[in-house]
Amino acid sequence: MKSGRIRLGLSTGTAALAAAVLLALAGPGVGAAEAAGPCPGHKARTLTFSTGKVVLYKKRGYVCAVTYAKNPGARKKMSISVQARGSRPVRDAGTFTRLAGPVKVHAGHRCVWIKGSVGRAKVSSGWILC
C-alpha cells in the first residue's frame, strides 16, 4: 500500500515540475513576439510626412522598410519602395488599413532610396545610408 502512495506522489510532483517548466518557457516568449517590429535589425531612419511615416531598419547588409498610416483603421492607398543603388526598386502597394510592407532588399554598403505614401501624401528620401 505504501508503495502506491509514493508513486502517486512522484507522478504528481513530476506533473507540477513539467507544468512549471512549460510556463517558464512559454510565458516570456508570448509578449516578446508581439513587441517585435515587422523588420529585423535596428531602426536606422524614420521619415515622417502629413499622413504617416516610413521606418527604415538595417541588419547585416539588408535594408527593410515599412510605411505606417498616421490614422489606421479605414482602408487607404499605401505604398513602400526600397531601391539599392544599381538595382531595381522593390515595392509593396495596395489598399491597407495600417501598414504597407515590409519590403526587404540586400544593399550591402550601397546607398538606398526610400519612397512611401499614404493617400495622396508621400515622402522620398533621396540617396541615404551611403
What pLDDT digit, counting tens, does each position of 119-128 carry? 999 999 999 9
Question: Rounded to an integer, what distance in angstroms lies between the CA atom of residue 99 and that of residue 12?
Answer: 49
Model pLDDT for residues 2-43, shown as the tens digit of each residue:
555 555 454 555 555 454 444 444 444 443 444 567 899 999
Considering the domain 42-128, what is its CATH architecture? Sandwich (2.60)
18, three cell numbers: 513539467
At residue 61 the predicted structure's pLDDT band, cuts being 50, 70 and 90, is very high
Average pLDDT of the chain is 82
CB atoms near residue 21 (< 10 Å): 10
Pairing of strands 52-59, 112-118: unpaired
CA proximity to 52, closest of 126, 117, 124: 117
Q: Of 106, 125, 3, whose CA–CA distance to 53 is shortest?
A: 125
Distance CA 30, CA 17 (A): 20
pLDDT at 11: 53
